[in-house]
Chain A
Amino acid sequence: MTLKLKATVMDEKAIGQALRRITHEIIERNKDIKDLVLVGIRKRGVPLAARLQNYLKEIEGSPVPLGILDITLYRDDLSQREDQPVVHTTDLPFDLNNKHVVVVDDVLYTGRTIRAAMDALIDHGRPATIQLAVLIDRGHRELPIRADYVGKNVPTARSELIEVKVQEVDQVDQVDIMEDLAG
């Protein structure tokens, strides 16, 4: 697959603004953040969740617990993938029962990752609510799932690819739409 940059849809400033706005929306929606926990989906959901955690602390003063979720073992495409994904550790250092859980991921696309994430979370306990925050919603849902907090809606073609880069992993904050030249 040869990929070519089609457009840059978010830069560092836009990403920062979007995450700050999401932070305010989370507070507005949840009022009391006492029972709130953040759960980042590996890989790029984790640094994004950590940033929301920082912003929440700046505004509310008290820290919100942060967990890490690896959904590999809950995927529905394991028997169809040529490349077997590596299983990484899940780390949810808190009791999920009766918590308001905000799941954080970089891109919402088919919804299958979020389905897997919800199954994984429910294996750990019974949250009061599960909410979803994503930096990009690119459409093309295959399951009845929607995000509660969206950084930016980016209409795409299925042949395109959204590439989210974050400082912590990629040394830059940027969201690109890539085109597959072959396709």
Chain B
Amino acid sequence: MQALRRKDILGLEEISAEEITLILETTRSMREIMLRKIKKVPTLRGRAILNLFYEPSTRTKASFELAQKYMSADSVSVAGASSSLVKGETLKDTVRNVEVMGVECVIMRHPVSGSAHYLARNINASVINAGDGMHEHPTQGLLDLFTILDKKGRLEGLKVVIVGDVRHSRVARSNIWGLKKMGAYVALAGPPTLMPPDLEAFGVRAYDRVEEAVENADVVMALRLQKERQDSGLFPSLREYAELYGLTEQRVAGAKEDLLIMHPGPINRGVEISSGLADSPRSAVLDQVTGGVAVRMALLYLLLGGIKEE
């Protein structure tokens, strides 16, 4: 496959295995640029990009901004709290105004599920979803796939366990779509109150006990526990969660010897994952971050690098 024939990257649900393969191959080439002393290629010179973050973000925002700089694109970043949104302007109006300034691609994080799709339908510029509500976070899903592929050499046939609040996690949803498409076997573990209701539709199995789920696993991925879920009564306390579902050496003992440990960040040490495990040689947490910049460079190239399709 030669090119990604699409305007936007909104979710892994609608991206084919063939497209994912092209993105991951391009990512490998982009990572080489990050290892150079001069991290810059002229590819996207003169192309303008808008980063719109209506939710707090450190990693994803820094990662997109660096990817843009490494590719020589020009970009501006606007945080939701300081934007005209608080003056009552609609999202569509905000972006249309920026679009007529010459922006060709909008990266958006937004608390409402489906907002990226809405935006993509209403503007000519490309849209990359940097997380929309509880729906999807496709670039995180892709960087996780890249990290696993890079460390394991394949995705097909691997057993990947996702532990935690799958129900409210856009990271989990993007990962499940991507992993299933690439032929991996996905198991979930966590409190039943935090499991999604439509598991069959995803084709994944859920376990109550982490020990059972990680049996013979190649990869285990912990999700960030959102404090606000406790307030809504979905689990009793952080301490109890850590005791029952927190990843520790002991808890993952049944997995394969070369188990890969992942976390999308930010980590609550001692809650989702023990410090020992997060910093162990088996942990790929920082590789995920490096891969994140490379994945975003690859997507920018694939979306903006060629002729714009009308």
Chain A interface residues (CB < 8 Å from chain B): 70, 73-74, 78-91, 119-120, 123-125
Contacts of A83 in B (CB 8 A): 2-3, 306
Contacts of A119 in B (CB 8 A): 42
Contacts of B306 in A (CB 8 A): 78-79, 81-84
Cross-chain contact B22 with A86 (CB below 8 angstroms): yes
Q: How far is the CB of A67 from chain B (nearest CB, A)?
A: 12
Contacts of B40 in A (CB 8 A): 123
Given the interface contacts A74-B43, A123-B38, does A81 sit within 8 Å of B307 by beta carbon?
yes
A-B contacts, 21 of them at CB < 8 A, read A70-B29, A73-B41, A73-B42, A73-B71, A74-B41, A78-B43, A78-B305, A78-B306, A80-B307, A81-B306, A84-B3, A84-B302, A86-B2, A87-B26, A88-B29, A89-B28, A89-B29, A90-B29, A91-B32, A123-B41, A125-B37
Q: How far is the CB of B287 from chain A (nearest CB, A)?
A: 17
**C-alpha gap A86/B298 in the complex (Å):** 10
Cross-chain contact A86 with B305 (CB below 8 angstroms): no
Contacts of B302 in A (CB 8 A): 84
B225 within 8 A of A: no
B260 within 8 A of A: no
Nearest B residue to A87, CB-CB: B29
B25 within 8 A of A: yes
Contacts of A89 in B (CB 8 A): 28-29, 32
Cross-chain contact A82 with B42 (CB below 8 angstroms): no
Contacts of B87 in A (CB 8 A): none
Cross-chain contact B36 with A124 (CB below 8 angstroms): yes
B162 within 8 A of A: no
**C-alpha gap A83/B2 in the complex (Å):** 7
Interface-central residue, B22, B42, B71, by most chain A CB under 10 Å: B42
Contacts of B116 in A (CB 8 A): none
Cross-chain contact A73 with B32 (CB below 8 angstroms): no
Contacts of A85 in B (CB 8 A): 2
